[in-house]
Structure 1
Amino acid sequence: MLVIKSVKPVKLFLRVVLSLFLIAAGTLHWLTPNPFVKIVPSFLPYPLALVYISGVFEILGGIGLLLPSVSIAAAWGTIALFVAVFPANINMAVNRISLEGIPDSDFLRWGRLPLQAVLIAWAWWYTCEDS
């Protein structure tokens, strides 16, 4: 029982961390959209609009994770968002797209792909009611 009781504060702390990450990333989509536009796959229309839309949903997901009345829905929405932006990460890796301020490294580009699975699992943790 001691382990179960100690998980709640960690889960709450990590919820706040994920929320802040989402809000910061979403804000960056609005303040500096060009790097995000650069990695949108060419088969998708209106890349700038997609960047702005994904930024809005990141911000909403981050806020929603902190609101008990909508946190489960926000977690599912965040999972959907992580899945939706995965093609941009694939595009970045496959086409070796470099972004200013990020080291030009295939390791880092390909490393983003499994990171998406970690982010999905992290958000999924909040789809379950706390007991």
Structure 2
Amino acid sequence: MPTDRSARLLSGLLLGAGVAHFVVPRQFDAIVPRSLPGSPRTWTHLSGVAELAVGAAVALPATRRAGALTAAGLFAAVFPANVKMAYDWRHKPAPLRAAAVARLPLQAPLIVWALRVARG
């Protein structure tokens, strides 16, 4: 069933991203907005745990709807980090700048994807 496959893919994306927050945390620390209180590493780990939990929720049919709705919210919540990354990378080589800027509109299809999975 396409919906189930889409949910599994979304879950995999979230779980992979969650694991990355612990395996290579420095890249995530660097994009934590300075306006957030506390250590960037704390926010990196908290967001990693959130992605792992949401990914697990999306994977399970019983919690898929709630998990996918939460995923949509999570994708919206991390948008300021992507804005910070695009700003911070404005003087990097063109391919890196392009990658950072390309992340900004990517949030919209991720949100739409999560909402579609939530609708089942």
Q: TM-score, normalised by structure 2?
A: 0.89
Which structure's relative contact order is higher, taking Cα pairs within 8 Å and 6+ residues apart?
A: 2
1:24 corresponds to which of 16, 31, 48: 16
> Any unmatched runs of 5+ in structure 1?
1-8
Please tell me whether residue 110 in structure 1 is matched to residue 101 in structure 2: yes
Please tell me whether residue 75 in structure 1 is matched to residue 68 in structure 2: yes
Matches for 1:77-96 after TM superposition, within 5 Å: 77-96=70-89
> Any unmatched runs of 5+ in structure 2?
none
Corresponding residue of 1:50 = 43
Q: Give, in angstroms, the shift of residue 120 of structure 1.
A: 0.5
Corresponding residue of 1:11 = 3
Cα-to-partner distance string for 1:74-98 (whole Å, 9 max, x where unaligned): 1111111111111110000012179
Q: Which has the larger radius of gyration?
A: 1
Structure 1 pair 68–31 and aligned structure 2 pair: CA distance change class (3 A): same
Q: Give, in angstroms, the shift of residue 108 of structure 1.
A: 1.1
Q: Give, in angstroms, the shift of residue 116 of structure 1.
A: 0.6
Q: Give, in angstroms, the shift of residue 21 of structure 1.
A: 0.9
Between Structure 1 and Structure 2, the one with more helix by share is 2
Amino acid paired to 1:20: G
RMSD over aligned CA atoms reads 1.9
What percent of counterpart residues are identical? 36
Cα distance in 2 for partners of 1:42, 1:114 equals 22
Q: Which secondary structure state, in structure 2, belongs to the residue aligned with residue 105 of structure 1?
A: helix
- The answer (yes or no) to whether the contact 1:98–1:104 under 8 Å persists in 2 is no
Please tell me whether residue 65 in structure 1 is matched to residue 58 in structure 2: yes
Structure 1 pair 98–62 and aligned structure 2 pair: CA distance change class (3 A): farther
Q: Paired residues, what number?
A: 118
Greater than 4 Å deviation, 4+ residue runs: none
